[in-house]
Structure 1
Amino acid sequence: MTIVGSETLLEVRGVRKSFRSGNRQLEVLKGIEMSVESRRLTMLRGRSGSGKTTLLNLLGGLDRPTEGEVLFRGLPLQQWSDKRLTVVRRKEIGFIFQSFALLPLLTARENVELSLRMAGIPRAEWKKRVDRCLELVGLTKRAFHRPSELSGGEQQRVAIAKAIAHRPRLLLADEPTAELDTLMAARIIEAFREIVEEERIAICMTTHDSTLWGAADVVYQMVDGRIVPD
């Protein structure tokens, strides 16, 4: 169901994904049907090995389906060239991986600025935007610290600020709270909720943590490569 005030950013239609494993084909995704709406927090829940990360990679154009299609704003990602996909990822999609993917020699502020540089945002806009993103994740006072001087939770929040700095339409996060304690995980989800409300960014994240599901607008349960009724 389409939620009032939102639009469908992503549609997944009959997606299957197989990988070669020795002499046989291993089918990881088995006919996925789902959508991601703008201005909503969507969670893909399921155990390790259920296909969540594989699906997330397809949603972001990091991989292509074996069958079916992934539509981003109505256009089929799997038909785009690598060059076009790279441009879209830099400008319209943000990523948060399980590893924080921060450059160790750069401060929190400089790591966020890097995202703006890669997206081609004019330098004159950097300061205001970086200040805003660090404020959203509660790290204004840690802006000039390098990753080694930050806790795991703080590094994850820098990664979030970096991922939203270029104002993407969609943020994809793979188990963003997996290595955090319960309190810090709750703070990350609180930051996600604020980002959805204030930045109007759609967030789709994977998680196996049942304590987080209640914070989502939409939850898809994955079992053995399929989305099953919750």
Structure 2
Amino acid sequence: MEPMIRVNQVEKTFEAGSRQVQVLKGVRLELYARQWIIIRGRSGSGKTTLLNLIGGLDIPTQGEVYFQEELISMWNDLQRTKLRKQKIGFIFQSFALMPLLSAWENVELSLRMSGTPRVEWKHRVQHCLELVGLNKRMHHRPFELSGGEQQRVAIAKAIAHKPLLLLADEPTAELDSLMGAQIMRVFREIIAEENVTLCMTTHDPTLMEVADHVYEMVDGQFSSDKEL
């Protein structure tokens, strides 16, 4: 089986005033369909930068990033934007919801932006919100929902356009342990139901047991070529 994502000797350097800061240092990684991958590490270790490169939000200074054997790190902004709209979903720790829209409208907005035919919206929005356990809270706005419920709306929004890859950056960082555990159960159900690959970052050691593979990132590189 070919990997869905292949990261090959990726380096990333940023300008910081008059000096350069190397954030990633020769990272290699492969992600396969329907896997749950966790990249853990302290703040500043480079895990979020790697997630951005995998999702086509940025390009590496050196090395290659492949999505289904397509060299996306050589694509232009328009090509990578199209890829994200069609095949990648993003989840952030800050939820990234429109505050004046209901849960239903937030998920519907995702479908509108991805170009999904309007005739499919109603069924897909309802399915996604039911999948994350919000069938009774569909028409509430974010300020009427708990933190865990808001994150579940964000997950429903991220999977609405049927992506192949789901990228989650510290998705439980703003939640207590109970709500965090609920989100982990939702992720497992989504992988099984939607046949999606999940790659998430975290520094929470309590989440390690739920993933198929865990990689430790230290100072811009994995501590070992093998997962933990």
Same fold (TM over 0.5): yes
Q: 2:84 is paired with a residue of what secondary structure?
A: helix
Among 130, 146, 153, the residue aligned to 1:151: 146
Among 27, 31, 36, the residue aligned to 1:32: 27
Q: Separation in 2 of the partners of 1:215 and 1:98?
A: 19
Q: Separation in 1 of the partners of 2:220 and 2:161?
A: 32
What's 2:207 paired with? 212
Q: Do residues 187 (structure 1) and 182 (structure 2) align? A: yes
Q: Separation in 1 of the partners of 2:80 and 2:49?
A: 17
Among 126, 134, 149, the residue aligned to 2:129: 134
Q: 2:136 is paired with a residue of what secondary structure?
A: helix
Identity rate, percent: 63
Tell me the matched-pair count. Answer: 225
Amino acid at match of 2:142: P
Over 4 Å off, 4+ runs: none
What's 1:54 paired with? 49
RMSD: 0.9
Q: Separation in 2 of the partners of 1:9 and 1:61?
A: 14
Unaligned runs of 5+ in 1: none
Q: 1:65 is paired with a residue of what secondary structure?
A: coil
Deviation at 1:22, TM superposition (A): 2.0
What's 1:199 paired with? 194
Q: Separation in 2 of the partners of 1:109 and 1:197?
A: 23
Q: Separation in 1 of the partners of 2:18 and 2:71?
A: 31
What's 2:217 paired with? 222
What's 1:16 paired with? 11
Q: Do residues 67 (structure 1) and 59 (structure 2) align? A: no
Q: Separation in 2 of the partners of 1:58 and 1:112?
A: 25
Unaligned runs of 5+ in 2: none
Among 98, 102, 118, the residue aligned to 2:97: 102
Q: Separation in 2 of the partners of 1:161 and 1:187?
A: 14
What's 2:38 paired with? 43
User: Is residue 94–residue 174 contact of structure 2 (8 Å, CA) maintained in 1?
Assistant: no
Q: Separation in 2 of the partners of 1:122 and 1:24?
A: 48
